[in-house]
Amino acid sequence: MITLKGENIYLRALEPNDLEFVYAMENDQSIWEVSNTQTPYSRFLVKQYLENAHQDIYEAKQLRLAICQDEDFPALGLIDLFEFDPKNNRAGVGIVIQGTANRKQNIGSEALELLIRYAFYHLNLHQLYANIGAENEASIALFTKFGFEKIGTKKDWTFVNGVYKDEAIFQLLSKNI
């Protein structure tokens, strides 16, 4: 049986009451580099997004889940499957944990492990990939912990604060888990 509940966290669909959390995450300029955000989002746009979040992954080509510790606490982060490609059985993975205090607490590891199992055993995907800034040691360590392998580097891929930065692409094949 596939579960999106781990030992310390669970993944759930976004709810209308996640408006302020998603708004804060999307507008946190400290994470724009990892989320590829270019401009601020209004509450109106986030509300519209949440109203359409009920779409199935086959329709939206994306699945965004909130990372939570228990029923009484708000979300701690977001984890996504994006660019879902059912023909080729692959999707990209992205994760962000809100606030430095919540990082290095094993939250990201547990969330990624749950999402990998969901992607391979429920959606029957063949591969997952992650685009990670070449200098983002924490994300590289997280994804390689679960068997993602670096398969290439996109040189000068992102322009951040006046500097071009490389982005690495990591891949995990279902046969390797």
Per-residue model confidence as pLDDT tens digits over 67-120: 998 776 678 999 999 999 999 999 999 999 887 666 777 899 999 999 999 999
B/e letters for 162-174, b = 16+ CB within 10 Å, e = fewer, are eeebebbbbbbbb
Domain ranges of the chain: 10-130
Q: How far apart are CA 125 and CA 164, in angstroms?
A: 33
Q: Which CATH class is domain 10-130?
A: alpha beta
Residue 30 has a pLDDT of: 75
Q: How far apart are CA 43 and CA 59, in angstroms?
A: 24
Percent of the chain clearing pLDDT 90 (strictly above): 58
Contact between 172 and 156 under an 8 Å Cβ cutoff? The reply is no
